[in-house]
Structure 1
């Protein structure tokens, strides 16, 4: 449908979304929003959350608007800067009051947050400013609401004009759409533009407009919203002018002497009468093996309980051919939606298929025993892992993914340091090296930790462990990449006669064992010393000059900042027996995987695993970490002493079977103690019965507790662990769990975006991701994003936006290799292996 809408400045001909067909815009007319049982304001077509979330650096907090099923605005709160960034001061929440009688929700907050002021993970430097305030949201007619801000005391004179109420508009919904403000008008730009001005010592974009009333997207009924200030003026600012990951910001400053009603706005999101959430067809973006369980999940509006027919079509030379049809089975509510499922497990004929529901047709997917043979896990091994390799130049035909980097690694970090990215260096370096000393052996190997360029030991060892298990469990042997450690080159899609997985394991060990040789212990991590380096986007070669630090060197003015002088990365150490046991497990597993590839490196890896385990085994905070290390040492050595230790830890295994049973499952059939096998098996049976009940709580067939971020990673890890449970106790553990976990990654997950989390994999995938090339709105094939996040309390969300680490970030040490493990396991199963 096309509709002609009049604006104050122009007439625009627009294409309305399919959801608006035959639906009448009502503006603020109709039923008012009211507080529902989940403690946010709601009516059909609009929701207003008031501090249900508190994750301001992730744009999830404050006053938040969900309009026609999509989050369009968030972070409505007082801030100390016009356009704050990730390390900007943010308040601490105190009491939250829900008053249903008056239709009001009030949140009390204050500055500073003592838990983050120069301490904690990502420490923040707060100014000398202390005040308490109250953000109050009151329902009005239709979808409108009033926002007021009360301060306990007036602001100090020097802060007038600096403290303001910021309300952030999500750019991805507004690119190319119009805005109107008091006779001014414009288009929301795709990229930030000038002119710029300096505020509080920082260059930001000048306001796009100033006035009392802003109309957002007057050209689209589904996104139109009016913001009116009843106090001072509003500013419309493009926050991306000083922070790539910022949003458009509507801002009003707190006036001098103000306390009660220091800010008063009325916000009116347009509501399309009769609007309903369009059904989402969720099915694997890749497909299924013929004998695999296959289900379509339908996600629908809460009021949409009609069960229309689902049709499965096989694609032929003559078009679609009906393969199966029938009514879906109702599942019921989950999060905010109604769900139903349609089982087509009995369809086994190889071919390409689509699913039809009402007027929609899904993406194409495959049924076949060869469904995982190409283009599924292979991009992770072929492209993503090579791309992340540190201390190498990575080439792909005409393209250079990144240049030769960080040959100046690494200097010992200062003591008593809380780094801006969560690294803590204690009072001692725990080694013979003093702060500032160069630590040899760290200028080779390792992988950049996905969206960042640092190297955390857990991401290194986690990748080593998972690749090693794929080699030993599945016989992985695949060659599509040439790795030359002598010349520090990587060539993607050039075979060199060596297994790529083992070459990657070797690359990881060059870093982990390099640090162990030099320091006699593991490093905690290796990271940039300066924030200006850390936030760099683009070719990593620009982070350093690749030359060891020379205090007599002069700054490289062409590069600016600190480059060319003290740009060498720091290496941190720690005393962390849990992490050490985790590393021991990975090193032991690597020794098995490399025995027939590099016997010397395998032996060194096993020797390090033994030593690290012996020093850490009696000191872990999580005893189950010792279980995992022991099982890998049993597998690597076959020694009775390690088996005896494992048997003696039976009470620990039983006490936390969820976190220990999967590891024991690898060796349960080798355990000579019958009572150990019997008692552990009994606990596994109870645990698996519990999982069966938990997996019924949602339509996805896995225990799923949505969170702000990382739910996709958690489910992948769960799937891998369940594979090992199935290996040890096939009679108790169904295959469904690890297959359902894979399907979750490949598109069978909640929310209107049903893309595969694996970039470049499947019909539709996450091709705008939080990788090192995110500033280009691009992706790295085979990277696996964190996936659908929860906008609390009940909105699943996966936006097309490169700057949401909580939704689209790649990670090393699990995210990509857990997925790869699950896909290879499914491939082996499809082949009957």
Structure 2
């Protein structure tokens, strides 16, 4: 086809899109400012600096069209030659004038002497975006200061764009060229430039038009220079002006009468016959009276209705309203699905053994082996990664703040000079998340949770062969040792590394800035040889090289971390006893020595990555764990003294005390503790009643999946010790939430578990947009003020889709806890 013919075809498609769009826009309401101080009309919301996580594509001006957040991070950016990039705004003063129907957001950068306002006001079937500067653009910033907005690529795959006379298709991946700009940076070649940009002109659900009234728009594909990049719409701010320095008209199409389809949230795995079984139905607030819901059973190739009724209205939560369809009365084993209107869920089971097979095992047998550091991992004919980071680790430079919260203070607190090898660091541990750091706080939590899971597990599994001496792991190959024990051992070895090297726990190990976000085979990330400064970078011996590519170990001590690691090591000693007695003894001796030291010295508080902040809570947990492990009176005596602190921290400390309360044999203590529990229960009930899912829903930036699993793990011990006060259903609701019964969608947060799960996750192979079986993500995030979001078409919103080790371990525990609570007599 000739280019002229292609252009004609594009014009026709765009014209048809305009007709379709106009038919939608004609009857739509104008945008108005709502109670949450953003612009809204049916099918469209425009947020104004409600979010401040710009590195995670969450901030500035944001557009939600037909229930999908399509654009974000609308704010000014600076690309100066001196590398002093303007950071994303971390706050804005917002004023919403309902009389004028205008939202004004004021942003200030004192370090850059830059102050500006972004004004939003309804305009026709869209809105006007105006930027006012306090001062004209300085001469040195000309052509470097621009207003930019990011557009979410997956929603536009295969859809058209036209900007000026340039047109084309948004590709599935970045395929355009990059170049080295005048400042030496790798930058993407522009896709086009013009006064008007139209995206998805043929799609009434995704069509959006940007128009610059005072200049031009530039379209670039930032996926060229970063896998996590989005499509960028930007305009350079003209010099010599302040008021109205930039003026865009943005017209997102809205289909007339559009109402978001219902989401029927259920567990993607299923339910035990004896538990509460509810479908939480998420509805557009414009929806009228709820329709009838039906529970359908699939049997013998036929489908029949077994229950129907009108869901009970729950009320409003976030930007939706909810109704609940209760089918707890149905107990007959089998496969079912819930139907509501024209929507139906995926099939799920009702079965006494619902939590026993294929639910927690993929995480222990699949995800955990893949994440193991310092070993080679094989799965049949596939190699997940080679033996990696065998050159760990160099003493971190002093007095620096590194990435992801890692910090080395002015003293090393070891005998090792900066950038020299610290021994014992190249064994054990798991890559913590989608990246490859080994944070002691995270490793301790993971190890501790695995021990607790092991102790309530009635169905031990042996599907993984681990050769600790040969640094070799083979999945789906039994070796006679329980998988729980092997993973606990791997964690314990890592936790002991700091004590073996310097007598205390280190904060953790992490790559340099250059190696921080490398994906793919971890074994290829370093040369696996210890650094020797006497060698040139290209020189090698059998054990050393002159290439300094090792990860750094951050070695400062912290009292809270010491207690946290002590608790984990004390617990690990129990699981290791009988399998590796020498290691079990070292774990317990180290835990006791660390606890004794902290009891006889003033607390040392040195904030660092994943280092717990509430030192008293960690002291309570460590004391309880040592009492549970040893039965020694000194721990019981000290725990009694901590009663006031326990009362102040019931939400985090009650569970561990419950496990040892019967060993205290102190009526006064137990009476006071019971009163604390009842008071805590009252507050907890109020919290759980705030949302239709019945879980503690307190999102920050990340989804709450990991947090509520930790809550459920702790709550389990309250249920089993004080069943007359605490209800088992709270633990079960958390499991339901993780397996699909949550806001925004009904997707299992555990990859490969359930009929529909997250399979595009922020793991080490995220560049392939893939998943690791059994990995557990944090899930639905809150786009403030009231929009729940779980984008399943990208792995690069890590606050929704990143895997982490403690989340995986607490998930295993929660499923085992659910099975135990429901099958106590089986």
Q: TM-score band (shorter)? A: over 0.9
Paired residues of 1:23 and 1:274 also in contact (CA < 8 A):
no
Alpha-carbon distance in 1 for matches of 2:169, 2:570 = 58
Equivalent residue, structure 1, for 2:580: 598
Secondary structure in 1 matching 2:223: helix
Equivalent residue, structure 2, for 1:825: 817
Alpha-carbon distance in 2 for matches of 1:476, 1:290 = 20
Is 1:744–2:743 an aligned residue pair? no
Is 1:396–2:394 an aligned residue pair? no
Equivalent residue, structure 2, for 1:102: 100
Alpha-carbon distance in 2 for matches of 1:130, 1:615 = 50
Secondary structure in 2 matching 1:534: coil
Q: How many residues align?
A: 801
Equivalent in 529, 548, 551 of residue 547 of structure 1 = 529
Equivalent residue, structure 2, for 1:370: 353
After superposition, the C-alpha distances for 1:686-726 in whole angstroms (9 at most, x for unaligned) are 21122122211111011212332131111111111111111
Secondary structure in 1 matching 2:426: coil
Alpha-carbon distance in 2 for matches of 1:454, 1:33 = 46
RMSD (Å) for aligned C-alpha atoms: 2.4
Give the TM-score normalised by the residue count of structure 1: 0.93
Equivalent residue, structure 2, for 1:335: 318
Q: What is the CA-CA distance between 1:197 and the residue it aligns to? A: 2.3
Alpha-carbon distance in 2 for matches of 1:547, 1:132 = 50
Alpha-carbon distance in 2 for matches of 1:226, 1:726 = 55
Alpha-carbon distance in 2 for matches of 1:437, 1:88 = 35
Paired residues of 2:21 and 2:254 also in contact (CA < 8 A):
no
Alpha-carbon distance in 2 for matches of 1:569, 1:634 = 37
After superposition, the C-alpha distances for 1:795-827 in whole angstroms (9 at most, x for unaligned) are 000002111111000112x21111110011122
Alpha-carbon distance in 2 for matches of 1:14, 1:474 = 63
Alpha-carbon distance in 2 for matches of 1:147, 1:363 = 42
Q: What is the CA-CA distance between 1:598 and the residue it aligns to? A: 1.3
Equivalent residue, structure 2, for 1:162: 144
Equivalent residue, structure 2, for 1:793: 785
Equivalent residue, structure 1, for 2:45: 47
Is 1:665–2:663 an aligned residue pair? no
Structure 1 residues 549 and 294, CA, compared in 2 at 3 Å: closer, same or farther? same
Alpha-carbon distance in 1 for matches of 2:539, 2:223 = 26
Is 1:574–2:556 an aligned residue pair? yes
Q: What is the CA-CA distance between 1:414 and the residue it aligns to? A: 1.0
Secondary structure in 2 matching 1:514: helix
Equivalent residue, structure 1, for 2:631: 638
Equivalent residue, structure 2, for 1:136: 119
Secondary structure in 1 matching 2:336: strand
Structure 1 residues 276 and 774, CA, compared in 2 at 3 Å: closer, same or farther? same
Structure 1 residues 341 and 416, CA, compared in 2 at 3 Å: closer, same or farther? same
Give the TM-score normalised by the residue count of structure 2: 0.94
Equivalent in 147, 168, 172 of residue 190 of structure 1 = 172
Alpha-carbon distance in 1 for matches of 2:445, 2:698 = 23
Secondary structure in 2 matching 1:78: strand
Written as runs of structure 1 = structure 2, the 5 A alignment for 1:191-270 is: 191-199=173-181, 200-270=183-253
Equivalent residue, structure 1, for 2:500: 517
Paired residues of 2:728 and 2:821 also in contact (CA < 8 A):
no
Paired residues of 2:752 and 2:774 also in contact (CA < 8 A):
yes
Secondary structure in 2 matching 1:660: helix
Alpha-carbon distance in 1 for matches of 2:398, 2:218 = 44
Written as runs of structure 1 = structure 2, the 5 A alignment for 1:202-601 is: 202-475=185-458, 477-529=460-512, 531-555=513-537, 565-601=547-583
Q: What is the CA-CA distance between 1:26 and the residue it aligns to? A: 2.7
Alpha-carbon distance in 2 for matches of 1:792, 1:655 = 30
Equivalent residue, structure 1, for 2:714: 721
Secondary structure in 2 matching 1:150: strand
Alpha-carbon distance in 2 for matches of 1:553, 1:536 = 26
Alpha-carbon distance in 2 for matches of 1:193, 1:82 = 27
Structure 1 residues 23 and 677, CA, compared in 2 at 3 Å: closer, same or farther? farther
Larger mean CA deviation between 573-582 and 451-460 belongs to 573-582
Structure 1 regions of 5+ residues with no counterpart?
1-5, 17-21, 115-128
Equivalent residue, structure 2, for 1:179: 161
Equivalent residue, structure 1, for 2:10: 9
Structure 1 residues 815 and 180, CA, compared in 2 at 3 Å: closer, same or farther? same
Moved over 6 A (4+): 13-16, 85-88
Paired residues of 1:669 and 1:728 also in contact (CA < 8 A):
no
Alpha-carbon distance in 2 for matches of 1:658, 1:535 = 35
Larger mean CA deviation between 445-454 and 544-553 belongs to 544-553
Paired residues of 1:525 and 1:571 also in contact (CA < 8 A):
yes
